[in-house]
């Protein structure tokens, strides 16, 4: 059974995006939610990075931006990069002025360069192709919402297609959203390959690299000071994922956030 939180929403007011209007990291970014005060609620409020309301999705209905890449891209399907383990610290601790992650090195690691990495979550003609995919959270037990897919291949046969394989294995996933922090919430991710989750523009989950299925959890109360979040206010939660190597693709999100909502980009 799929249960949507149709009426819950954030407090009317502002969302702290972890960046200032001038484009620097670490400040506040105010957003008008609309007259009903919902974060992406069905009645019209929404989360955006332009300082104005946008039409958002219902609670629990996440809209992911999938960007497809060829296996010829230097960061995808390159055997020297397949370490089989989590690589910590590949991205910087704060999102940039565009709310995108930033490669933390000036040399190759399991990522070639900042130039190649900057293409992962931006539209680049001839390099990637963009698709929108809806990911529906299910209430698996009271107050716990889950999206779980052990065959996460959302663009099979599309974009650069499967390139002779049984699935399209080379793509990135971007989910940008907001939630009201009420206290006691948690958010977990289990999957492969690279996954970075930012809350309030700050890195909260770091499981980068080409590896098997790994799990990490954000305890918002335990990390409140580190993330700069205060109960009763609304903050951004941004998920950045990459599938870079053949064989498997796992993608599981579990949260006790009452209303995690994501606008259509």
**Count of domains forming the chain:** 1
Instruction: Give the whole-angstrom CA distance, residue 218 versus residue 109.
Output: 26
Quote the pLDDT of residue 24: 40
32, part of any domain: no
Q: Please state, rounded to an integer, the average pLDDT across all residues of the chain.
A: 80
42, part of any domain: no
pLDDT tens string, the chain, 265 residues long: the values are: 323 333 333 332 334 433 333 334 444 333 322 222 333 222 222 333 322 223 345 788 899 999 999 999 999 987 677 778 899 999 999 999 999 999 999 999 999 999 999 999 999 999 999 999 999 999 999 999 999 999 999 999 998 988 889 899 999 999 998 999 999 999 999 998 899 999 999 999 999 998 889 999 999 999 999 999 999 999 999 999 999 988 889 999 999 999 998 643 3
207, part of any domain: yes
pLDDT digits (tens, 9 = 90+) for 62-106: 999 999 999 999 999 876 777 788 999 999 999 999 999 999 999
84, part of any domain: yes
SS (H, E, C) the chain: CCCCCCCCCCCCCCEECCECCCCCECCCCCCCCCCCCCCCCCCCCCCCCCCCCCCECCCCEEEEEEEEECCCCCCCCCHHHCCCCCECCCECCECCCCCCCCECCCCCCCCCCHHHHCCCCCCCCCCEEEEEEEEECEEEECCEEEEEECECCCCCCCCCCCCCCCCCCCEEEEEEEEEECCCCCEEEEEECCCEEEEECCEEEEEEECCCCCEEEEEECCCCHHHHCCCCCCEEEEEEEEEECCCCCECEEEEECCCCCECECC
Domain encompassing residue 215: 65-129+144-255
Among 241, 194, 197, 191, residue whose Cα is nearest residue 213 = 191
pLDDT digits (tens, 9 = 90+) for 196-217: 999 999 999 999 998 889 999 9
Quote the pLDDT of residue 101: 98
121, part of any domain: yes
Residues 137 and 260 sit within 8 Å (Cβ to Cβ): yes
The model's pTM is: 0.81
Instruction: Give the whole-angstrom CA distance, residue 35 versus residue 56.
Output: 13
58, part of any domain: no
239, part of any domain: yes
What CATH number is associated with residue 72? 2.60.120
Instruction: Give the torsion through C-alpha atoms of 104, 109, 115, 117, to 10 deg.
Output: -80
46, part of any domain: no
């Amino acid at each position: 059974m799929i249960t949507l939180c149709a009426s819950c929403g954030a407090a009317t007011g502002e969302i702290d995006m972890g960046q200032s209007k001038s484009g620097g990291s670490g400040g506040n970014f105010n957003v008008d939610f609309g007259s009903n005060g919902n974060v992406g609620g069905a009645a019209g409020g929404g989360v955006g990075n332009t300082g104005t309301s946008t039409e958002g999705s219902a609670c629990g209905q996440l809209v992911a931006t999938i960007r497809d890449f060829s296996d010829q891209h230097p960061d995808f399907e390159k055997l020297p990069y397949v370490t089989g383990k989590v690589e910590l610290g590949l991205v910087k601790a704060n999102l940039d002025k565009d709310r995108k992650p930033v490669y933390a090195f000036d040399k190759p690691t399991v990522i070639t360069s900042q130039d190649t990495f900057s293409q992962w979550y931006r539209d680049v003609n001839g390099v990637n192709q963009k698709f929108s995919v809806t990911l529906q959270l299910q209430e698996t037990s009271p107050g716990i919402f889950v999206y779980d897919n052990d065959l996460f291949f959302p663009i099979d046969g599309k974009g650069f297609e499967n390139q002779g394989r049984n699935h399209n294995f080379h793509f990135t996933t971007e989910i940008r959203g907001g939630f009201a922090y009420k206290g006691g919430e948690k958010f977990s991710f289990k999957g492969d390959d690279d996954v970075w989750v930012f809350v309030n523009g700050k890195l909260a989950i770091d499981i980068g690299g080409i590896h098997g299925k790994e799990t990490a959890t954000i305890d918002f109360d335990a990390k409140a000071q580190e993330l700069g979040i205060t109960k009763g206010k609304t903050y951004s939660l941004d998920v950045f994922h990459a599938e870079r190597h053949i064989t498997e693709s796992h993608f599981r999100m579990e949260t006790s956030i009452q209303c995690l909502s994501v606008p259509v980009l």
